[in-house]
Amino acid sequence: MKKIEAIIRPFKLDDVREALSEIGVRGMTLTEVKGYGRQKGHTELYRGSEYKIDFLPKIKIEIIASDAMVENIVSTIIRAAKTGQVGDGKIFVSPIEDVIRVRTEESGEGAI
């Protein structure tokens, strides 16, 4: 099993969610996060004063999936989230030792 963490632009969330649903992803966790990478923020003008925004709003999607689904999920996220501009995001894939469903105490891939 693997944990897939994707950091994407907020306005791409619906596209990514719909695309993942079409390939059979049944669950995910979303978190509103802020951060920066190569974008390094930007400057805005407010009432005649310039100020710098260092941390940009992003969405973090977390999915636990079987090893067989990982490649399909990653390519689907890339296809749905990509704009071709700096700041499109990152995807991290990490191994997961075990998953336990609290309600039934079921463990392993059956608990996903």
Mean pLDDT of 56-76: 96
CA nearest neighbour of 3 among 65, 60, 59: 65
Binning pLDDT at 50, 70 and 90, where does residue 48 land? Answer: confident
- Could you give the residue ranges of the DSSP H alpha helices within the chain? 13-22, 67-81
Asked which of 7-16, 27-36, 50-59, 71-80 is least confident by mean pLDDT, the reply is 50-59
When pLDDT is averaged across residues 54-65 and rounded to a whole number, the result is 92
Q: Are 32 and 11 in contact (CB under 8 A)?
A: no
pTM, whole model, 2 decimals? Answer: 0.85
CB 65 within 8 A of CB 2: yes
Q: Which domains does the chain have, with CATH numbers?
A: 2-111 (3.30.70.120)
